[in-house]
A and B are shown apart, each in its own frame.
Chain A
Amino acid sequence: MVDRDPVRVGVLFSATGVTSTIGLSQLHGALLAIDEINEAGGINGRELVPVQYDPQSNPQRYAQLAEQLIVQDKVNVIFGCYMSSSRKAVIPVIEKWNRLLFYPTLYEGFEYSANVIYTGAAPNQNSVQLAEFMTANFGARVYLIGSDYIYPYESNRIMGELVMQRQGSEKLAERYVALDATEKDFAEIMVDVRNKRPDFIFSTVVGDSTAALYRAYADAGFDPKVLPIGSLTTSEAEISQMEKGLATGHYTSAPYFQSIDSAANQRCLQSLRRRMGESCVPNLCWEASYFQMHIFANAMRQSHSDEIADLLPEVLGSEFDAPQGRVRIDPTNHHTCLYPRIGRVNAESQFTIVRQARRSVFPDPYLVTHSLGDWAARLDTLES
């Protein structure tokens, strides 16, 4: 007898709290893919049904809800988490019950769990490219500003080390602000920026406080043409929380920007607008959340089961034509081959892509010492 029962999967993205803007977009990415999968006949005729909760940007809630999804809702696969603290809270639960987590967020690397698939960028897929670009175009005297948690600490270590490979480089400061920092917190830092006169600012500020950073920068009267902010986390979603033009001229390194001019991306964006209107702001984490759901569905069409032992062999090594390009889940480290890009924010609050990888870059989450000039990190120039 053919199984016609729906396939229930857990979806854990924060719709409230400090990282809710990006969390909501990840939720939309997952739901869009689920819609598309069901429209195409589901998974071998079985409807894909999300069981979703709001962990409110709180790591303990993430852990509780992950347990609830597994024990009460009986799901075998969970899609979710944004900040590393949320992932670290969920992993012990996932490993205890031997379930599978798909994690669609860039992070600081140095992790491998047999129960996790990582679809965001590792540092060798975004930090190296950003350091290369910023130091080549603006100079190597850097000022580091980040939110006060593990991802910025490790990202700053990597960035500091990369920048130090340039002549005349200097790490002028490493400053951390609370996750709920306001413009006042950044205003004080901008005074220091003015005194130290860096060539660029490296921001690993995440969530709602990102807008406050760019606001404080603009209020201080700096010019992005000579002293831009380079970031890995300022995406279209964070920019949508700012007044128009506030981020214009600043740079972000990411595998995906809404402005990618490919048939796959255009198709995906149209599909999003048709279903959800303009409420969702597509960005790198939205895209990862979108394509990982399709990767799961394709794998389950082969395995006919969402038990980790059956599903995982089909996920590992699988490829998908994602909006950023054809991605692949690496079987050895469970991370994803992605396409690094550098974007400059334009007047329409979109990114003009100025550099782009020709081939996908292999994920290397355990790389301690990154090198500028690494051939694998070299990008093609689209616009100068």
Chain B
Amino acid sequence: MVDRVEPQRVVRATPQQLKELRTLTVAVIHPDDSDGRQLTQQLQRIGCKVQAFWPPVQSIGKEMDVVFLAVRPEIINLNMDWAQADDAPTVIAVVNYENPTIVELVLGLEAKAVLPSPVRSFGLLSTLVLARESHKVNRALARRLKKVEAKLLGVRHIADAKAVLMKTHQVSETEAYDVIRDQAMAKRTTTEEVARAIVEAHELLSLSLPSRHSRAE
């Protein structure tokens, strides 16, 4: 008899976020003062590749995984659109004021964590890991939501297409669906695509009927 008992997972596996620390490229957009130096030096101890920028840059290289950004009153008027891009790096705000103006800026940057000034070496690693993880989870959720929305739209198209076929060809719902599926197979595409084509064609044909009151795009 083969012993099929799985090896005991008594020892914890190291989380991916921790394993990846040494592969991170980090931008530190911060004045070259004691906070800025403390920040870059601690990131280097942790083993990240660090590049420091000041004055603030208005675009960020694709290779940056994380940006530490000194959120100061003087950056209010700068173009920080890079922070909202789909593939934006994880933003961690370094703040020395906590008034609503600054907090609003931090929110606008979609920062995943805040580091208060004066910067201490202790706590930076946890902040970095947590911000990266929360950013990753957010991005995964957004991607999933997009997929689910597309799927939902597809399902609606199929329902509409079935209704069109049932009305115009006097077939049952099951038969209508089989027509759609056969078409999808023959054209090597998805049932959602075929359904959309049917609905669009039907709308187009309806236009040529006398009772037109809408225009196709």
Contact = CB atoms under 8 A, between A and B. Distances in A.
Real complex partners, A and B? Answer: yes
Interface of A: 110-114, 144, 156-157, 160-161, 170-174, 332-333, 364-369
B44 interface: yes
11 contacts: A111-B122, A112-B45, A114-B121, A157-B14, A160-B11, A161-B13, A161-B14, A171-B11, A174-B11, A366-B47, A367-B22
Given A172-B10, A173-B8, A367-B47, A110 B121 contact: no
Interface string B1-22: 0000001101111100011011
Contacts, number: 51
A368 B45 contact: no
Contacts of A161: 13-14
B161 to A, nearest CB: 52
Contacts of A160: 11-12
Interface in B64-85: none
Q: Is the interface of A mostly helix, strand, loop or mixed?
A: loop
B14 A369 contact: yes
Contact of B14 (A112, A114, A365, A368): A368
A343 B12 CA distance: 29
A368 B19 contact: yes
A160 B9 CA distance: 11
The 8 closest A-B pairs by CB, nearest first: A160-B11, A171-B11, A366-B46, A368-B18, A174-B10, A112-B121, A174-B11, A369-B19
Interface in B40-70: 41-42, 44-47
Given A114-B121, A157-B12, A366 B7 contact: no
Nearest to A175: B10
Contacts of A368: 14, 18-19, 21-22
Contact of B7 (A111, A170, A365): A170
B140 interface: no
B7 to A, nearest CB: 6
Interface of B: 7-8, 10-14, 18-19, 21-22, 41-42, 44-47, 121-122, 125
Contacts of B7: 170-171
A157 B22 contact: no
B121 A369 contact: no
A366 B45 CA distance: 6
B73 to A, nearest CB: 29
B10 A112 contact: no
Given A369-B14, A369-B19, A332 B41 contact: yes
Contacts of B44: 332
Given A161-B13, A332-B44, A369-B22, 18 more contacts: A111-B122, A112-B122, A114-B121, A156-B11, A157-B14, A160-B11, A161-B14, A171-B8, A171-B10, A171-B11, A172-B8, A173-B10, A174-B11, A332-B45, A333-B45, A365-B45, A366-B45, A368-B19
Residue from B18, B19, B122 whose CB has the most chain A CB atoms within 10 Å: B122
Contacts of B46: 366
Contact of A113 (B11, B18, B19, B122): B122
A83 B19 CA distance: 26
A173 B8 CA distance: 8
Nearest to A111: B122
A171 B18 CA distance: 21
A366 B125 contact: yes
Contacts of A173: 8, 10
A93 to B, nearest CB: 14
Contacts of A170: 7
A110 B126 CA distance: 11
Contacts of B21: 366, 368
Contacts of A332: 41, 44-45
B42 A112 contact: yes
A156 B122 CA distance: 23
Contacts of A367: 22, 47
A333 B42 CA distance: 9
B204 to A, nearest CB: 59
Contacts of A369: 14, 18-19, 22
A245 to B, nearest CB: 32
B121 A113 contact: yes
A373 to B, nearest CB: 17
Contacts of B8: 171-173
A145 to B, nearest CB: 12
A71 B121 CA distance: 26
A256 B122 CA distance: 30
Contacts of A113: 121-122
Nearest to A159: B11
A111 B125 CA distance: 10
A365 B44 CA distance: 12
A157 B11 contact: yes
Nearest to B46: A366
Nearest to A158: B14
A292 B122 CA distance: 24
B127 to A, nearest CB: 14
A368 B22 CA distance: 8
B96 to A, nearest CB: 20
A42 B122 CA distance: 36
Question: Which of B12, B13, B18 gathers most chain A CB within 10 Å?
Answer: B12
Contacts of A111: 122
